[in-house]
Amino acid sequence: MAKSVFSLGQRHPRYTIAFAAFVLCAYWFLSSPTPRPHSVVYRANNDLKARLEREERKYRAMLPQRQDLITRFGPTPAQVVMFPPDQDPWPPYTVWDFFPPLFNCPHELDRLGALGDGGKWMCGISRIQDKPNCVIYSFGIDSSYSFEATLLQSTQFCEVWIYDSTKGEDAQNHIPKPLRHRAHFGKLALGASDRHSQGDDPKTWTLKSLMSENGHSHIDFLRLDVEGWEWETFRGIIRDFTMERVSANPAANANTTGWNVNEREGVLPFGQLQIELHVWNQRFQDFLEWWELLEVAGLRPFHHEINLVYANYNRHSGVELAEYSFLNIRGENAFIRDYVPVSPDGVVAEHQQEPDVRNIRHGPGPE
């Protein structure tokens, strides 16, 4: 006859103790409520304002040097060659030399994602690692999801919206299963105008329309790799979110500001931008005008990485692909303004001082 657990326990007390421990653990696991997110602790960067002001002064001082370089090799923008041939007279430059990422990141600088193609440079991930309502948009994935996955792993509340014109929900398999509840996927393209009616293929959305559709007013980090459509697309973004400041004397405005385009008012809806530039068939004067639009809208480049994989496979052409990272120095985004975030449970976080800056990686401090 089969023996009951209780009769077995009478002969072997250690079984009774083990069984009781199992029952208690099961009860505790099943009855315990889901833990609430811990209170967000924000560490203030007390030097942030001074760092940003110093970097802006340095960046503005570079603008006349760019014009001098144009005069030297032009002398007008229309006469500057993007990638001059290796022949006399030998001008030592490429187009990328006119647009250096001189604006130092005022926080830690990290490369997130895989080594080689797929990894991206980011300024101050610590500023959003515990930030509630953190929003990431990523356009154009191809086959690498390492950046998005690493960003999700490195933050507590960030959610990422991943869009590609050739991939949809099936792309979720590239994100680790424990992180998929914070990843959203859509099969669409980003463009300068909306074309997403029933017969449109691919369906194209402007950033403004897509943010409205998702119920977002701000994006913490925006990543774009749209294979040459960045020129038209970003002109549309700047047009949708900023307004040209009209000058009575455009020539005088250029002499005063260092730019040949009118300055713009308004704030772009993101804190940081990472974008791959494809200068296929681009003329220097067009590239310069596009770049200056970004500058007058408040974007400052703090890092770039030339795509040497592409250069290696296309040695007959110039080094035509480069990834740039920009900081938006306008508005109230998390990378340029100190704030005390509210955690999801409604608790206002304690405002703490930053640890000794000698023990963490920072850009140069104020002089």
Spell out the domain ranges in the chain. Answer: 46-328
For the cut 80, the answer to whether the pLDDT of residue 117 exceeds it is no
- Give the best-scoring range by mean pLDDT among 5-14, 24-33, 45-54, 242-251: 45-54
How confident is the model at residue 150, as a pLDDT? Answer: 92
- The confidence band for 10, taking pLDDT boundaries of 50, 70 and 90, is low
How confident is the model at residue 353, as a pLDDT? Answer: 43
Range of lowest pLDDT (157-166, 221-230, 255-264) = 255-264
pLDDT mean over 9-38? 52
- Between 318 and 26, the more confident residue is 318
How confident is the model at residue 227, as a pLDDT? Answer: 85
How confident is the model at residue 352, as a pLDDT? Answer: 43
- Between 351 and 139, the more confident residue is 139
For the cut 80, the answer to whether the pLDDT of residue 27 exceeds it is no
Range of lowest pLDDT (8-22, 271-285, 351-365) = 351-365
How confident is the model at residue 20, as a pLDDT? Answer: 61
CA torsion angle for 318, 96, 218, 50 (degrees, to 10)?
A: 160
- The confidence band for 86, taking pLDDT boundaries of 50, 70 and 90, is confident
Average pLDDT, the chain: 81
How confident is the model at residue 297, as a pLDDT? Answer: 96
For the cut 70, the answer to whether the pLDDT of residue 365 exceeds it is no
- Give the best-scoring range by mean pLDDT among 250-254, 295-299, 362-366: 295-299
Range of lowest pLDDT (102-111, 193-202, 221-230) = 193-202
For the cut 50, the answer to whether the pLDDT of residue 8 exceeds it is no
- The confidence band for 18, taking pLDDT boundaries of 50, 70 and 90, is low
For the cut 70, the answer to whether the pLDDT of residue 80 exceeds it is yes
How confident is the model at residue 25, as a pLDDT? Answer: 54
How confident is the model at residue 260, as a pLDDT? Answer: 85
How confident is the model at residue 250, as a pLDDT? Answer: 56
Range of lowest pLDDT (88-97, 179-188, 219-228, 340-349) = 340-349
Tens of pLDDT, residues 133-157 = 999 999 987 667 889 999 999 999 9
How confident is the model at residue 343, as a pLDDT? Answer: 54
- Between 14 and 67, the more confident residue is 67
Range of lowest pLDDT (32-36, 40-44, 88-92) = 32-36
- The confidence band for 198, taking pLDDT boundaries of 50, 70 and 90, is confident
